[in-house]
Amino acid sequence: MTVSELDKQIKPNMRGAYLFYGEEEYLKLRYREKMRAVLLEDESLAPFNHSIITDITRLAGEVEILPMMADRRLVEVEDVNFAKLNKDTLEALVSLLEKPEDTVVLFFTREGEFSAGTAKKPSELFKKLSAVVNIVEFSKQAPNRLATWAAKHFASHGTFAEGDVCHALIERCGTDMNVLANEIAKLAAYALSLGETKIRRDMIPIVVTAYRESGAFDFVNAIMDGNTSYAFALFTDMKRRREKPVEIAAAISRVISELRLVKTYADAGLSLAEMMAATKMKEYSIKLRLNALRGRTAAELDRAVELCYETDLK
């Protein structure tokens, strides 16, 4: 099911089960909010007609509960790794989802929790669930569609921007809609503070932070370089993208441990070739770490390794 098709189905009398997956967190969250607003219109009754669960074994009991003074209940299921469901659990889930009449079930997944395969070769999981679940992919949006969306978003802030300005914003910020929404709000506030409603292209470099989608490589380099402020900015971005804490901690532990190891060999007088043989690291990687070690003491690195160890245990 496409997002457009989902949009047409979100009504007070909607029924069935839906599964949201894909990279675009902004749209997933907005459509979840839209479903809540439509199905839980009476806020006084919302606590009786809305449940959020993280244990899929509780779903059968939730589906049996009748809505109170409303047509539908909404049950949201979060943090379920479908790839790890055993065969019996999956079959029971499919059987359960064939029955609900008065309950709308929303499976809200994050990256890595659901694999649909491809259009030509869908996964077995997709094939089984699609028989009873409306599966909606929220993929990254193309620049042209984002530009149209950005123009509407500017309008919602009481401003307007022409197409070339919207494209210039996307070029500077990237395609993440959460980032774009924040920068649009900043630009609109700036323009209105000047008594203007039109967003000009020359406002962008004044207000908007240049953004490049970051990854583990950038994070590791920031830690290695001792660039604390940038490391925390990347850490905040990774949390926003809901990257797993264990993986973030592992990236930190690895780079700290490698720095301590290289320092040990360097202090022992090993040559670059000997360090490469001992660590199995490339020449370029060792040189980067040697450069990052300038001004760092063994005691400082030992303390960092100890903190990584304590965090890993926790």
Confidence at residue 222, expressed as pLDDT on a 0 to 100 scale: 79
Mean pLDDT of 238-255: 82
Q: What is the spatial distance between Cα 213 and Cα 175, in angstroms, rounded to a whole number?
A: 9
Task: Say how many residues make up the chain.
Answer: 314
Q: What is the SS3 assignment for 67?
A: coil
What does the DSSP 8-state code read for residue 43?
Answer: T
Instruction: Read off the pLDDT band of 179 (50, 70, 90).
Output: confident
Strand order in the sheet with 103-108: 50-53, 73-78, 103-108, 16-21, 133-137
Mean pLDDT of 294-312: 90
Instruction: Read off the pLDDT band of 152 (50, 70, 90).
Output: very high
pLDDT at 80 over 90: no
pLDDT at 111 over 80: no
Closest listed residue to residue 198, CA positions, set 188, 213, 186: 188
Which residues fall within 8 angstroms of residue 73, CB to CB, at 6 or more apart? 39, 49, 50, 51, 62, 65, 66, 67, 102, 103, 104
pLDDT at 87 over 90: no
Highest mean pLDDT among 42-46, 116-120, 271-275: 271-275
Mean pLDDT of 232-250: 78
Q: What is the spatial distance between Cα 136 and Cα 21, in angstroms, rounded to a whole number?
A: 6
Mean pLDDT of 114-119: 84
Cβ proximity of 260 and 301 under 8 Å: yes
Confidence at residue 214, expressed as pLDDT on a 0 to 100 scale: 53
Confidence at residue 217, expressed as pLDDT on a 0 to 100 scale: 64
Query: Does the model's pTM come out above 0.85?
Result: no
